[in-house]
Structure 1
Amino acid sequence: MENEEMPPGLSDALDAFAGYLSGERAVSAHTRRAYLGDVRSLLAHAASEGASVLGDLELGMLRRWLGVQSQSGAARATLARRSATVRSFTAWALREERIAVDPALRLKAPKRERSLPGVLQSSQLTRLLGQLEHSAADGEPLAVRNRAIVELLYATGVRVGELAGLDIDDLDPDRRTLRVLGKGNKERTVPYGVPAAVAVDDWLRRGRPLLARENSGPALFLGARGRRVDQRQVRELVNRLLEALGDTSASGPHALRHSAATHLLDGGADLRAVQEILGHSSLATTQIYTHVSVDRLRKSYQQAHPRA
């Protein structure tokens, strides 16, 4: 059900919430679309049950909406996200005095499944990065760029959107640090090592000048036509490279982020330092990587100990 098919009392609230997300919350375009999609779905369901204003929302209605989502095959993680969105929406409505009572206070989300992320072994990354270095040796600009992208993703653990948004001035080559604008427009500084520094310097000297155009602006990484590289291009690149390895189920740029975090913890890095590097707002999010490390330790123990 689109906005215009909803009762005015519901569609007006959805429009006001959209303005709140763009203004006060300043969330990313992707997050905004996800929030509004969830709330639109909820309000459409509420309208189908006879609701015409936000005050008609009640706990049973919210639970029935989630039940419909579950029956349609939504995963537990998706249901948990939608529950959180609804709680944000009704809390906003209460603050704005659009409702007198928050119907989502007792709305419980299903526990999220904490699956272990795909992690590359150090030997696999050595092989992958060695292949990229060899490909970049002849100076073909996209090959030089690809090497720098993968080196930087693994060295810093940044998200693919953060990498695509980098400008040249975000680099501090002397200190080997990167200024990153993360979720919620939060800025953080992330270190990177010598191999990534060499690859990025090579890109800036030999690759970028050959692709740069008048419309390139300050973007660190460029596509074949000289515009800022987009997330889709980076995802396709990394997926293709990981698939070519042939001995891993890991896929996408997030696998490099997972691998960076796991290898840092395996090497003795402090959990809070890794949290800061990754830009996690909660330490609990970072702690999943300790589970990955423990799982790998357990497998090593079972393979090596005679009485395992």
Structure 2
Amino acid sequence: MWAVLSKDERRGRALEALRKGDLRTLLDLMEHHLRTWGRAGAKASPNTLRSYRSAVRGFFAWLQGMGLEGEALAQAVAHPSEDLGAAYLRHLEDEGLKPASVNQRRAALGAFYEALKWAGVAERNPFSEAPTRRDPVPKWEKRRPYEEGEVARLLEAATPEERLLVLLGAQGGLRVSEAVGLRWENVDLEARRMRVVGKGRKEASVLIPGGLARALEEAKKEEGPVLPWRSDDAARRALKRLCQRAGVPYRGYHALRHYCGTHLYRSTRDIQTVARHLRHSGIATTTIYAKWGEEEARRVLEAWG
């Protein structure tokens, strides 16, 4: 719809949506702008779009909670004060959101305002001007990996399908969306390679390690999804149930990928090898696994009698 409208038509439709509180139209505008002018373009992640839509809904709920509606709401959004972006982010902090979550909402609402500017509605982007929230907790201390013994307990308690779920993350280094999207047609056990669709819809060939190769061989089919869970959330819930049965703290699915990177670094001491297997775009991301590896070594040394 938005691509065929003139600038005056875009502006009129967006203003009407603001006055009516028509979030569906406004979110459609943001998604069109992201897919047309955003860095990821048409390959914008569904997860990103979903989180951006949620952030915009939260922002409008905050505005409406202050009694703004109709023309007053439209004016507040279209002609934001210089403090609007920073004030909302501070509100999120007061609500207890962590710095990473606050910064994610800042990015989402910045994208929303860029769409409003493109439509000729907003004069400025108050979120691009708002400062990012500095996180005092080092990145490597967050979302710590599952430990060696924990992964062993998960595999011992797992069904064949759950075993594949664990090994795709813990040995293959796949993200949950990559594991859920993996199909048998893209698994080449002879070459020990699997083709996965990663972040930004990028395709990559990933080496299949030994334990994962054996599990795939036992479950091998000609076609169709490798895993029975059809959504990321369903796969996470399955892992959470497995953790409860195995007596392992649930750290999320991504912690299996962290385990893979940490284990590989401890075994090779080669950051480049870890970066290649996990398909990191930059080496800076991979250094987190070196930190975890060093932390484990420190604990071992301190425990020596």
- The TM-score with structure 2 as length reference comes to 0.76
Matching residue within 200, 209, 217 for 1:184: 200
Contact 2:157-2:246 within 8 A present in 1 as well: no
Q: Which residue of 2 aligns with 1:251?
A: 251
Contact 1:59-1:104 within 8 A present in 2 as well: no
Question: What are the Cα deviations for residues 252-293 of structure 1, in whole angstroms up to 9, with x where unaligned?
Answer: 322321111111111125334433433444544333222222
The one-letter amino acid paired with 2:302 is Q
Superposition pairs of residues 29-44 of structure 1, within 5 angstroms: 29-43=46-60
Do structure 1's residue 20 and structure 2's residue 33 form an aligned pair?
Answer: yes
Change in CA separation of 1:89 and 1:118 when aligned onto 2, cut-off 3 Å: same
Q: Which residue of 1 aligns with 2:19?
A: 7
Q: Which residue of 1 aligns with 2:145?
A: 119
Q: Could you tell me how far apart the structure 1 residues matched to 2:282 and 2:110 are?
A: 19
Q: Which residue of 1 aligns with 2:6?
A: none
The one-letter amino acid paired with 1:34 is S
Change in CA separation of 1:241 and 1:10 when aligned onto 2, cut-off 3 Å: closer
Do structure 1's residue 220 and structure 2's residue 226 form an aligned pair?
Answer: yes
- The runs of 5 or more residues in structure 1 that have no matched partner are 133-142, 210-216, 223-227
Q: Could you tell me how far apart the structure 1 residues matched to 2:193 and 2:152 are?
A: 22
SS of residue paired to 1:156 = coil
Q: CA deviation at 1:101?
A: 3.7
Q: Could you tell me how far apart the structure 2 residues matched to 1:58 and 1:252 are?
A: 39
Superposition pairs of residues 166-177 of structure 1, within 5 angstroms: 166-177=182-193
Matching residue within 61, 77, 86 for 2:84: 61
Question: What are the Cα deviations for residues 210-255 of structure 1, in whole angstroms up to 9, with x where unaligned?
Answer: xxxxxxx622223xxxxx6443443233223333333x43433223
Question: What are the Cα deviations for residues 105-149 of structure 1, in whole angstroms up to 9, with x where unaligned?
Answer: 3311212343332323334434543554xxxxxxxxxx3333333
The one-letter amino acid paired with 1:275 is A
Q: Could you tell me how far apart the structure 2 residues matched to 1:7 and 1:279 are?
A: 45
Over the aligned positions, Cα root-mean-square deviation in angstroms equals 3.1
Answer with 263-272 or 3-12: which moved more.
3-12
Superposition pairs of residues 89-108 of structure 1, within 5 angstroms: 89-94=112-117, 97-108=120-131
Percent of pairs with identical residues: 24
- The runs of 5 or more residues in structure 2 that have no matched partner are 1-14
Contact 1:238-1:251 within 8 A present in 2 as well: no
Q: Could you tell me how far apart the structure 1 residues matched to 2:16 and 2:123 are?
A: 25
Superposition pairs of residues 289-304 of structure 1, within 5 angstroms: 289-304=289-304
Q: Could you tell me how far apart the structure 2 residues matched to 1:58 and 1:187 are?
A: 43
The one-letter amino acid paired with 2:186 is D
Q: Could you tell me how far apart the structure 2 residues matched to 1:280 and 1:34 are?
A: 22
Q: Could you tell me how far apart the structure 2 residues matched to 1:303 and 1:119 are?
A: 20
The one-letter amino acid paired with 1:111 is R
The one-letter amino acid paired with 1:145 is E
The one-letter amino acid paired with 2:155 is L
SS of residue paired to 1:259 = helix
Answer with 266-275 or 194-203: which moved more.
266-275
Q: Which residue of 1 aligns with 2:3?
A: none
SS of residue paired to 1:111 = coil
Change in CA separation of 1:241 and 1:13 when aligned onto 2, cut-off 3 Å: closer
The one-letter amino acid paired with 1:121 is E
Do structure 1's residue 165 and structure 2's residue 166 form an aligned pair?
Answer: no
Q: Which residue of 2 aligns with 1:150?
A: 166
Do structure 1's residue 238 and structure 2's residue 271 form an aligned pair?
Answer: no
Q: CA deviation at 1:56?
A: 0.4
Q: Could you tell me how far apart the structure 2 residues matched to 1:97 and 1:45 are?
A: 24
Contact 2:44-2:200 within 8 A present in 1 as well: yes
Contact 1:153-1:257 within 8 A present in 2 as well: yes
Contact 2:182-2:225 within 8 A present in 1 as well: yes
Contact 1:159-1:254 within 8 A present in 2 as well: yes
Aligned length: 277
Contact 2:27-2:53 within 8 A present in 1 as well: yes
Contact 1:6-1:44 within 8 A present in 2 as well: no
Q: Could you tell me how far apart the structure 1 residues matched to 2:283 and 2:80 are?
A: 34
Answer with 253-262 or 117-126: which moved more.
117-126
Do structure 1's residue 52 and structure 2's residue 68 form an aligned pair?
Answer: no
Q: Could you tell me how far apart the structure 2 residues matched to 1:287 and 1:160 are?
A: 21
Q: CA deviation at 1:43?
A: 4.4
Contact 2:86-2:127 within 8 A present in 1 as well: no
Q: Could you tell me how far apart the structure 2 residues matched to 1:4 and 1:71 are?
A: 32
Change in CA separation of 1:271 and 1:92 when aligned onto 2, cut-off 3 Å: farther
Q: Which residue of 1 aligns with 2:107?
A: 84
SS of residue paired to 2:101 = helix
Q: Which residue of 1 aligns with 2:98?
A: 75
Q: Could you tell me how far apart the structure 2 residues matched to 1:22 and 1:149 are?
A: 31
Q: Could you tell me how far apart the structure 2 residues matched to 1:103 and 1:10 are?
A: 21
Answer with 188-197 or 3-12: which moved more.
3-12
